[in-house]
């Protein structure tokens, strides 16, 4: 099975048709996973965006679409057979808020995860804890001990940073990736979860750019925040792993991978990595509530407005009734 995965933190910028065409040019598989982060589009935009997707990827069918705050996952297939799909979306922010979180999709025997983890160099331990939570939640939701899952694809703005070097070279355009590898915080994830593999990095850091340019921002140490990692019981063959430098609307660059998953198992190891999550149902309920409120924020605003109007009317009405007591009536 050949799969193309793209991850892109849009920095709350809309994606135009030209950028969608650039994305399509780099994706070569019959199954395409588009994972977006920080895509807080306006109320009227979802249908417009999906129309753009349909026109750009006209030979594909949209198998799955979902969003959770700024996270969006789309699955496109050329030969859209019957697919068993089960989504899960959970906020990983304070009180399960969705500014950081993930969308996962179980499709047939593969799990695709779109994650946006905690930012800043100092929060690496927090990022690793979030990944532990993600794996614990999908373990429970998809019953990984019982379900035959052969592949997990983890992608998104994982926010792993390059730690500032002692030499003071913060602009990593001057360094090749083998040198960056020693200061790339993702090494801590790879030590903890060696089952996940990543193709060789041959492109420049994907964050942080001055939007509209190819210039790195001086506000951050340039880093490989946007990643695609794969764990499978079958053989994995990466064909392409790169970024799309021509897209300049965001302070991130999109990252994509084209890879194949073999047919035969190379081991029988269960893809279970974490302890059980203690409050999965609570996390689902609260996250779903947040998501529903966000998706229907216009209705929420109207509803709150009506409550305020009713409150004002009731207040004036009650004052009026008090001022017209029997003792005040003149005959």
Query: Stretch 305-327: mean pLDDT, rounded?
Result: 66
Q: Name the pLDDT band for 182 (thresholds 50, 70, 90).
A: confident
Flag whether 321 is in a domain: no
pLDDT: which is higher, 194 or 166: 194
91-109 pLDDT, tens digit per residue, is: 988 877 767 999 999 998 9
Q: Is the pLDDT confidence value at 121 over 70?
A: yes
Q: How many domains does the chain have?
A: 1
Flag whether 59 is in a domain: yes
pLDDT of residue 212: 92
Flag whether 172 is in a domain: yes
237-246 pLDDT, tens digit per residue, is: 999 999 999 9
- Which of 162, 253, 266, 262 is closest to 207 using CA atoms? 253
Q: Is the pLDDT confidence value at 198 over 60?
A: yes
Flag whether 154 is in a domain: yes
Flag whether 116 is in a domain: yes
Sequential DSSP letters for 281-324: HHHHHHHHHHHHHHHTHHHHHHHHHHHHHHHHHHHHHHHHHHHT
Query: Stretch 246-264: mean pLDDT, rounded?
Result: 95
pLDDT of residue 83: 73
Tokens of 180: 């960056």
pLDDT: which is higher, 34 or 46: 34
Range of the domain at 178: 2-279
Query: Stretch 217-230: mean pLDDT, rounded?
Result: 92
Flag whether 147 is in a domain: yes
Q: Is the pLDDT confidence value at 142 over 50?
A: yes
What CATH number should be reported for the domain holding residue 7? 3.60.10.10
Q: Name the pLDDT band for 130 (thresholds 50, 70, 90).
A: very high
- Residue 48, CB-side half-sphere exposure with 13 Å CA sphere: 9
Flag whether 197 is in a domain: yes
Flag whether 178 is in a domain: yes
- Which of 223, 124, 211 is closest to 172 using CA atoms? 223
Q: Is the pLDDT confidence value at 274 over 80?
A: no
Cα angle for residues 166, 167, 168 (degrees, 5° grid): 90
pLDDT: which is higher, 167 or 268: 268
Q: Name the pLDDT band for 36 (thresholds 50, 70, 90).
A: very high
């Amino acid at each position: 099975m050949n799969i193309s995965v793209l991850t892109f933190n849009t920095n709350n910028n809309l994606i135009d048709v030209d950028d969608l065409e650039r994305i399509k040019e780099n994706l070569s598989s019959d199954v395409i996973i588009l994972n977006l982060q920080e895509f807080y589009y306006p109320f009227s935009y979802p249908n417009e965006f999906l129309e753009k997707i349909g026109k750009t990827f006209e030979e594909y069918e949209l198998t799955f679409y979902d969003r959770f705050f700024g996270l969006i996952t789309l699955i496109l297939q050329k030969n859209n057979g019957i697919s068993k799909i089960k989504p899960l979306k959970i906020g990983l922010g304070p009180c399960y808020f969705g500014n950081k979180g993930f969308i996962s999709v179980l499709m047939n025997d593969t799990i695709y995860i779109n994650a946006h983890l905690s930012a800043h160099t100092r929060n690496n331990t927090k990022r690793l804890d979030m990944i532990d939570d993600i794996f614990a939640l999908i373990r429970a939701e998809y019953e990984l001990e019982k379900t035959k899952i052969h592949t997990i694809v983890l992608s998104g703005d994982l926010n792993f940073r390059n730690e500032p070097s002692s030499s003071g070279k913060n602009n990593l355009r001057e360094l090749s990736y083998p040198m960056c590898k020693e200061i790339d915080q993702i090494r801590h994830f790879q030590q903890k979860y060696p089952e996940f593999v990543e193709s060789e990095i041959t492109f420049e850091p994907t964050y942080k750019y001055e939007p509209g340019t190819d210039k790195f921002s001086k506000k951050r140490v340039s880093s490989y925040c946007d990643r695609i990692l794969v764990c499978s019981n079958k053989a994995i063959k990466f064909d392409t792993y790169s970024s799309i430098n021509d897209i300049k609307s965001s302070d991130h660059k999109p990252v994509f991978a084209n890879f194949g998953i073999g047919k035969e198992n190379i081991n029988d190891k269960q893809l279970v990595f974490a302890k059980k999550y203690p409050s999965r149902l609570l996390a689902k309920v609260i996250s779903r509530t947040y998501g529903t409120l966000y998706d229907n924020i216009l209705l929420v605003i109207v509803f709150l407005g009506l409550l305020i109007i009713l409150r004002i009317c009731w207040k004036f009405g009650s004052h009026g009734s008090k001022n017209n007591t029997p003792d005040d009536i003149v005959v």
